[in-house]
Every structure is written in structure tokens, then in C-alpha cells.
């Protein structure tokens, strides 16, 4: 398996990417597949090779609300790295999704065993979280609302 070099793993050294690859395998999800549910055990994570995945939140009495979509090169799932290892959101394939799937428990153990690998991987995940936080904050501004540009 060749782990993609772009996307969130771009900052990993070739050695660390190779090591990470030993914990993963190829998977495919047909469109509509529920990949994980909110509050479920975060025992895996994925790097998307192709297709689109919707991240959603459960709204009682209504359909899940889609908060964000992820595509090629994106990391799907970061709750596996932090206690209590439960998914914050749900995920569903919007189209056929091809991905690398990783065993989270084995990756966490490798992070414990090799702190330089653990630090590098944690940095990569932290960058993803920071980027998504920034995107969310920009969206909070509700930018596309009407602007009068001085019109009376």
C-alpha cells in the first residue's frame, strides 16, 4: 500500500509514512454507507483516496445535519487519537469511497513506543484540527449574507 503523500500526511517523513502504512489496508464503501456514528468507539481512521464523505451531527427528531464534507487526501476521523476515543460526529459515504483504513489501537501503541513517530503524527492531526476549526470560524461569520456596501 502506498500511503498518499499529499493531504494531511504531507508533513510526515518518508520513514514515518512507511511505518504508518504498515497499520493500514485498502477499503471501499458504497455510496450511502454509514461509516461511523456519533459517540461510537473510535477504533479506526481513514485517509480518503477518492469519493466524498459527509460528517454529520445527530439532531433529535430530524435527519442528521451535515456539517462538512471530506474528499480526496483528507483525514477521516481524529477522535481515535484522544481520550475517550469516541466519535464526535457521524460519517456517511456520499458516493463510492475508496480509502486507506488504519487500526487506531495499533497506531496509538506505535505512537507510545516511538515518541518521534507519535509527535509527528500528532502534529499532522493537530494541523487538520486547526484548519477545520479555522474553516468553521470563518463560516460562523455567515459571510454570504447581504452587504449593503453603503447603499441607503
Partner 1 sequence: MTAAAPLTARPGAAPVPYRVAEREAETPDTATIVLEPVRSALQPFAPGQFAMVYAFGVGDIPLSVSGIDGRRLTHTVRTVGAVSGALNGLRRGDTVGVRGPFGTDWELPAAAGKDLLVVAGGIGLAPLRPLVRDALAAPERYGRLNVLIGARTPHELLYTGDVRGWQSAARILTTVDRADPPWQGEVGVVTTLLDRAAFSPGASAAFICGPEPMIRAAAGELVHRGVDPEQIRVSLERNVHCATGHCGHCQLGPLLLCRDGPVISWTKAQPLLMVREL
Sites of contact with partner 1 (CB under 8 A): 7, 52, 54, 63, 66-69, 71-74, 94-95, 134-135, 138-139, 141-152
Q: How far is CA 82 from CA 44, 70, 77, 104, 120, in A?
A: 12, 20, 11, 11, 15
Residue 138 Cβ vs partner 1, minimum distance, rounded to whole Å: 5
Smallest gap from residue 118 Cβ to partner 1 (A): 26
Output the smallest distance, CB 141 to partner 1, in A: 6
* Residue 43 or 72 having the CB closest to partner 1: 72
Least distance to partner 1, CB of residue 27, Å? 21
Choose between 86 and 94: whose C-beta lies nearer to partner 1: 94
Nearer to partner 1, 112 or 148 (CB): 148
Please state, in angstroms and rounded to a whole number, the distance separating the CA atoms of residues 125 and 13: 14
Query: Are the beta carbons of 32 and 97 closer than 8 angstroms?
Result: no
Q: What is the rounded end-to-end Cα distance, in angstroms, of the chain? A: 61
Conformational region of residue 56, where left means phi above 0, alpha means psi within -120 to 50, and beta covers everything else = beta
Residue 12 or 104 with smaller CB distance to partner 1: 12
Count of all residues that appear for the chain in the document: 152
Work out how close the CB of 5 gets to partner 1 at its nearest, in angstroms, rounded to a whole number. Answer: 14
Exposed / middle / buried, residue 83 (Cβ in 10 Å: 0-12, 13-18, 19+): exposed
Task: Give whichever of 1 and 140 is closer to partner 1, judged by the CB atom.
Answer: 140
Amino acid at each position: 500500500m502506498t500511503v498518499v503523500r499529499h493531504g494531511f500526511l504531507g508533513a510526515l517523513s518518508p520513514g514515518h509514512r512507511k511505518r504508518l502504512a504498515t497499520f493500514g489496508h485498502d477499503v471501499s464503501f458504497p455510496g450511502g454507507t454509514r461509516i461511523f456514528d456519533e459517540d461510537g468507539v473510535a477504533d479506526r481512521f481513514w485517509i480518503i483516496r477518492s469519493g466524498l464523505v459527509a460528517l454529520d451531527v445527530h439532531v433529535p427528531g430530524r435527519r442528521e445535519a451535515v456539517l462538512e464534507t471530506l474528499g480526496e487526501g483528507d483525514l477521516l476521523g481524529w477522535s481515535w487519537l484522544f481520550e475517550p476515543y469516541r466519535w464526535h460526529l457521524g460519517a456517511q459515504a456520499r458516493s463510492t469511497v475508496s480509502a486507506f483504513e488504519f487500526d487506531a489501537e495499533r497506531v496509538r501503541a506505535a505512537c507510545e513506543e516511538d515518541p518521534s513517530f507519535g509527535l509527528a503524527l500528532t502534529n499532522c492531526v493537530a494541523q487538520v484540527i486547526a484548519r477545520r476549526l479555522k474553516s468553521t470560524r470563518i463560516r460562523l461569520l455567515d459571510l454570504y449574507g447581504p452587504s449593503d456596501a453603503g447603499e441607503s
